Structure 1
């Protein structure tokens, strides 16, 4: 992959805006406000992605002990901190700019509780292939200072996964993806290559931008933008304020998806088996009684 920041660059098949969805703010549980970008009725999933949450949480609220199976999740802190604890004894706190990459695999039960008064984060669920759904769970916490960055002509990128501006992330992803956090000052543009077979979308954190074509209408914060297929995406910040957005893409698994709450499998019978495993404390959920809520 390569990218160039000048007006002469053009992709052979540029990605254009296919669909945009406003992630509406809604309360969910005690002290939690969520914007659901993927996983809503307007955008149920985008293979290999099954969920995108932009959430804020304040004490005493939080995500108490709950189970998962069948996917990977990326939690990206924007403000404050979240303390994670699971039934296998793993505990850690990520703070603004940090990443937690969790491979749920065959089963995990954990809690995610606010570490400060104001806590704001994004969480992305990435589906696992049928062959990988029952692997052992694992975690990788990446502090902000370990996330590689690059900057050119008023455009800065934090490379959480994948490659941009000639730098590569050190994070390995079982399902191949890119996860890029771009910031653009007014009057700048960028051109980012994307593998042609991948699905891709952007989520605007702040500001407004023109995506895909210079003639497109600006799109404002909290929209998820799904792009057509192509070999790259162009973005312009024609406004008077900074633009910040995530650009995320991934290789489709092209497998059936069966999702029920915190479980993501391929068939309903596998979902039924997962629920039975959880209730019976078997096949990955043996340590259920060891959960400790914060």
Structure 2
């Protein structure tokens, strides 16, 4: 069960130091993503590698592909997606469900639509420290009904990782991370502490909100806002007279390590990347089962 803890107030709100619109781009096979972290405006926001708001309709999707050296967090907003991997793990996550996958030393998997119509969600890539990059893969999956929730004074939060409004998530993170899904009713005001020294950002999903300062202009959906390092938390307001605003607040402890990324492989040095490519091509050191494996979705759709 989620633990209840005291939640302190914000005495010095963090300012918004950067803001931009995540524009649609093609990714995978026929999928559309709004990528806010991991594109030319923002290559890396330690420890975060990628944030995609994805939209996919069958037969499009993300067929068989490898990962090494980081974690992927998939949070469904609409519809459902089926995941398969070369270890035999298979499951479907639906709207409100969560999958927290630690790729570690290596995984090959697919993520494909599991329903008619358009499937929507968020996928966040979180870097792993050098000491964790080659750990065994693992999953933490949580149905929507089990995600910790709290409500107070017109504010609702789903606590995916970390804590808010006195509620703490049971999700265990290798890289210390907070991931909070807030909905603010019209007229409500949020104060959410953020651990000192952590990097943090806001991504707006629906409606318009004011962030950082009450004098700031409202920010609409599909925008990412990077928060400055000074201050002890986020302040946000919904000044709309009729519509709620929904956004995620994500924070993480910076790793402060060298970063070398080659597509789906994220390591600390060029030599480690070369070794990873060699491991994958030769089906060794974590990729042994990739030699003869194809997902059911890939076989059925002949990707």
- TM bin (shorter chain): over 0.9
Please tell me whether the aligned partners of residues 96 and 143 of structure 2 are also in contact (alpha carbons under 8 angstroms): yes
Deviation per CA, 1:189-211: give whole Å up to 9, x if none: 10000111100001000111110
Question: TM-score, normalising length from structure 1?
Answer: 0.96
Map of 2:85 onto structure 1? 86
Map of 2:37 onto structure 1? 38
Deviation at 1:153, TM superposition (A): 1.1
Counterpart Cα distance in 2 of 1:2 and 1:254: 30
Please tell me whether the aligned partners of residues 3 and 191 of structure 1 are also in contact (alpha carbons under 8 angstroms): no
Map of 1:246 onto structure 2? 248
Counterpart Cα distance in 2 of 1:30 and 1:258: 25
Please tell me whether the aligned partners of residues 129 and 253 of structure 1 are also in contact (alpha carbons under 8 angstroms): yes
Please tell me whether the aligned partners of residues 10 and 232 of structure 2 are also in contact (alpha carbons under 8 angstroms): no
Asked whether 1:232 is paired with 2:260, we answer no
Match of 2:280, SS state, is helix
Counterpart Cα distance in 2 of 1:249 and 1:212: 15
Query: CA 1:70–1:14 in structure 2 vs 1: closer, same or farther (change >3 Å)?
Result: same
Please tell me whether the aligned partners of residues 23 and 224 of structure 1 are also in contact (alpha carbons under 8 angstroms): yes
Counterpart Cα distance in 2 of 1:226 and 1:2: 26
Asked whether 1:276 is paired with 2:275, we answer no
Counterpart Cα distance in 2 of 1:223 and 1:190: 19
Match of 2:39, SS state, is coil
Please tell me whether the aligned partners of residues 177 and 249 of structure 1 are also in contact (alpha carbons under 8 angstroms): yes
Q: Which runs of 4+ in 1 moved over 4 A?
A: 1-4
Asked whether 1:165 is paired with 2:165, we answer yes
Please tell me whether the aligned partners of residues 200 and 227 of structure 1 are also in contact (alpha carbons under 8 angstroms): yes
Deviation at 1:10, TM superposition (A): 4.9
Match of 1:125, SS state, is strand
Deviation at 1:30, TM superposition (A): 3.5
Map of 1:59 onto structure 2? 58
Please tell me whether the aligned partners of residues 2 and 193 of structure 1 are also in contact (alpha carbons under 8 angstroms): no
Map of 2:132 onto structure 1? 132
Q: What are structure 2's unaligned runs of at least 5 residues?
A: 298-303
